[in-house]
Amino acid sequence: MRPPVGVGPAPADDRTLRVRADADRPAPGGPRPERQHAMTTTATLPAPSPASVQVRSSLFARYHTKDGTAREIVLLTRTPRRVLVDRDTLTRTDQQVLAVLSPEESVENARLVCQHYLADPHKGRSRRLAAADLLPAPDADSDDVDVTQTLTDQIGRRYQLRTLDHGDRLQLRWVASPPDQHSGPEQPVTLREVIGRCESYEPACAITAAVLAATHPERCHTSDVRKELRLVRETSIVLNRLLRETVLQRVTAGESMSEIAMRCGRVKKDQRDGRVAGETSWLARRIGLRPDSTTKRPTPWMHIDVLALIAREGLGIDPLEVEL
């Protein structure tokens, strides 16, 4: 499971943002949403099984695309799941996920995401809604998720989600063990570190969600891991592995990294002969082939806006094709 890649809300502030209340005022750089009264309806989401999932639909805003298509932004709810979706107004199809709210999260965060999305002229930070987005989280006994599974990264480090002694009660933490050929103590790590080192969101996110759903917070301290999972789902910083693999496939097929970088607007000029070429070092750093200037080592992460730029302009493909 990849969280809605780069879809999550911006950091909350003290302001109360209500898109419906401001609907008569166009969002900066975006379309003017039509003024709507608060309304709640019911809808049926196609599910992978014969049974359908009944969900409540709360309208946040409506707008028109450049080609005149009417679209709406709604909050789909099937307790405790809540998903903010952009969809076709008439057919209620082409449902794109903008954000997934945790049970304890305020609906004001969804309104904040809605406002930022309407102000974005590209609308390129969403993925298609899946039936699983509104299904209950698997519990610890689910056959679909092995919560005792050990994950291994490329250099052999192993990761497990376990309970550790923490004062007067247990604490749920991801723990890293050194490769078999090396000795050393286990170290607590964040979910983001596990994902970054394994360069994959799954099954780490699914294991985390399943264990949290089955763990009572009064018996085990879970707030740290719960916060880590929420941040992974909401952040605009995403894995670059699939984009890197796609760029390398293009290079193998005959394109050059210089050409890709130039199409992204990253150009450098040779001071000796004036020759212009693409800034390949910029591209290599962004996709994790060269050390990052701050960390001094290749990074598995990149901002969703940079991923979208390289995908659209450099490769000529939809960013969703290179999102994990």
Say if residue 69 is in the same domain as residue 158: no
Mean pLDDT of the chain: 80
Residue 146 lies in a domain: no
Per-residue pLDDT reduced to its tens digit, 141-181: 445 688 889 999 999 999 999 998 877 778 999 999 999 87
End residue of a domain, out of 235, 265, 285: 235
Say if residue 12 is in the same domain as residue 111: yes
Residue 144 lies in a domain: no
Residue 143 lies in a domain: no
> Which residues does 14 contact at the CB level (< 8 Å), separation at least 6?
none
One-letter amino acid of 195? I
In which band, very low, low, confident or very high, does the pLDDT at 7 lie, cut at 50, 70 and 90?
Answer: very low
Q: Are 213 and 163 in contact (CB under 8 A)?
A: no
Residue 12 has pLDDT above 70, yes or no: no
DSSP 312: I
Work out how many domains the chain is built from and give that number: 3
Q: What is the rounded end-to-end Cα distance, in angstroms, of the chain?
A: 8
For position 157, what pLDDT does the model report?
95
Per-residue pLDDT reduced to its tens digit, 76-124: 887 777 899 999 998 888 888 888 887 777 888 889 989 988 988 877 6
In which band, very low, low, confident or very high, does the pLDDT at 205 lie, cut at 50, 70 and 90?
Answer: very high
In which band, very low, low, confident or very high, does the pLDDT at 269 lie, cut at 50, 70 and 90?
Answer: confident
Distance CA 235, CA 200 (A): 15
278 lies in which domain range? 238-322
pTM reported for the whole predicted model: 0.59
Q: Which of 96, 69, 70 lies closest to 83, judged by CA? A: 96
For position 107, what pLDDT does the model report?
86
End residue of a domain, out of 202, 235, 268: 235
DSSP 37: -
Say if residue 131 is in the same domain as residue 1: yes
Per-residue pLDDT reduced to its tens digit, 218-255: 778 999 999 999 999 888 899 999 999 999 999 999 99
Say if residue 292 is in the same domain as residue 226: no
Say if residue 14 is in the same domain as residue 87: yes
For position 57, what pLDDT does the model report?
85
Of the ranges 5-14, 169-178, 258-267, which is most confident? Answer: 258-267
Cα dist. 200→45, 194, 323 in Å?
A: 28, 9, 11
End residue of a domain, out of 235, 261, 291: 235
Say if residue 128 is in the same domain as residue 156: no
Distance CA 5, CA 115 (A): 18
Residue 141 lies in a domain: no
Of 74 and 140, the structure prediction assigns the larger pLDDT to 74
Per-residue pLDDT reduced to its tens digit, 297-315: 999 999 999 999 999 999 9
Say if residue 172 is in the same domain as residue 208: yes
Q: Torsion-angle region of residue 9: left (phi > 0), alpha (psi -120 to 50) or beta? A: beta
Tokens of 153: 């990264």
Q: Which of 176, 180, 169 lies closest to 193, judged by CA? A: 176
φ, ψ for residue 98, nearest 5 deg: -100, -35
